[in-house]
């Protein structure tokens, strides 16, 4: 699977800030509304599954805030202590979101398991709990698609993780819907079982988020498609530069949501060093300007000696 998505254009800072602000507002306001509605429906509708689902939604409010803060910190420029920038802080934010989800899922699952083991008697869930589940599925699925779409445009690991939290909440609500419907049909234990299924969904999303964030902090290389895009850009520059003959080799490594690339080009050995250097800078500038997600491009000179 490709380790980059929707890289067809380089995003302006103005558009970046606008989309991050919109994703944050949608995440916080949408989750607060749903969490309050679901906790009300769960309590007055006598549904453990809906209360569990509401807890998951409340955790998503904090998840969105953490995603926003992670993006804000990652977008800071280089400084003396961090000469390569702060992009990996976004991966750290994503890992924190994953840990929060693991804890939330474990707490919800343990509560439901305890209720089943202790044979806790509960009333049959009311219609309002059923309505809340249906509303939640529709709203959270919409939030997932919107946030994922924007996150791909701005290449944000943290907000992609936040989008998956929305999808996890939608799936949780599907489980709650099944459990509530089963309980209303005379099988009250279904509500508890649905709560456990929800907890497993939450834990799964949390583990996947942590795994993805760790992978982006391990300096893994880009996929072949992306490296070929860089090579095409370099070759188009070489075609216009006399004395630069070809690419010898090219390396890439992931740095948060950005990439570093080292490009080795064969040069005419008789070319003055200053001229060769200036031409490699033309190549580097072209790569940074035309290939999305490039943080740094280093072009190295290799004398073309046969």
Residues near 248 by beta carbon (within 8 Å), at least 6 away in sequence: 264, 265, 266, 302
In degrees rounded to 5, what are phi and psi of residue 258? -110, 170
Is 74:141 a contact under the CB 8 Å cutoff? no
Question: Over the stretch 123-174, which tens digit does the pLDDT of each residue have?
Answer: 667 788 888 889 989 999 999 999 999 988 887 777 887 888 788 778 777 7
- Give the per-residue pLDDT at 146: 93
Q: For residue 12, give both structure tokens.
A: 């302006």
Question: Over the stretch 96-131, which tens digit does the pLDDT of each residue have?
Answer: 878 877 887 787 677 677 766 776 555 667 788 888
Spatial distance between the Cα atoms of 237 and 290, rounded to a whole number of angstroms: 11
Alpha-helical (H) ranges within the chain are 13-44, 48-74, 88-117, 127-154, 157-184, 189-215, 224-238, 273-290
Domains of the chain: 13-215 (1.20.1510.10), 224-303 (3.30.70.1350)
Question: Over the stretch 199-239, which tens digit does the pLDDT of each residue have?
Answer: 787 788 788 878 877 877 777 788 888 899 999 999 999 98
């Amino acid at each position: 699977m490709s380790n980059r998505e929707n890289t067809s254009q380089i995003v302006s800072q103005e558009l970046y800030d606008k989309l991050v602000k919109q994703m944050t507002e949608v995440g916080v306001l949408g989750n607060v509304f749903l969490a309050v509605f679901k906790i009300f429906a769960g309590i007055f509708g006598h549904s453990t599954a809906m209360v569990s689902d509401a807890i998951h939604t409340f955790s998503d409010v904090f998840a969105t805030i953490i995603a926003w803060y992670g993006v804000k910190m990652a977008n800071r420029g280089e400084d003396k202590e961090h000469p390569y920038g702060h992009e990996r802080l976004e991966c750290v934010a994503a890992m924190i979101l994953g840990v929060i989800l693991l804890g939330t899922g474990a707490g919800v699952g343990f509560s439901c398991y305890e209720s089943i083991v202790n044979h806790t008697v509960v009333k049959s869930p009311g219609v309002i709990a059923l309505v809340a589940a249906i509303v939640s599925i529709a709203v959270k699925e919409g939030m997932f698609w919107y946030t994922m779409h924007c996150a791909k445009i701005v290449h944000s690991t943290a907000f992609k993780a936040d989008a998956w939290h929305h999808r996890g909440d939608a799936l949780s609500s599907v489980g709650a819907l099944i459990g509530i419907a089963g309980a209303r049909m005379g099988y009250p234990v279904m509500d508890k079982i649905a709560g456990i299924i929800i907890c497993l969904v939450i834990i799964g999303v949390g583990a996947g988020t942590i795994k993805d964030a760790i992978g982006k902090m391990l300096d893994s290389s880009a996929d072949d498609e992306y490296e070929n895009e860089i090579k095409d850009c370099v070759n188009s520059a070489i075609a216009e530069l006399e004395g630069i003959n070809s690419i010898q080799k090219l390396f890439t490594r992931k740095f948060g949501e950005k990439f570093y690339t080292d490009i080795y080009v064969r040069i005419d050995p008789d070319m003055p060093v200053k001229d060769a250097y200036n031409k490699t800078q033309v190549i580097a500038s072209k790569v940074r300007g035309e290939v999305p997600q490039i943080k740094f491009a280093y072009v190295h000179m290799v004398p073309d000696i046969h």
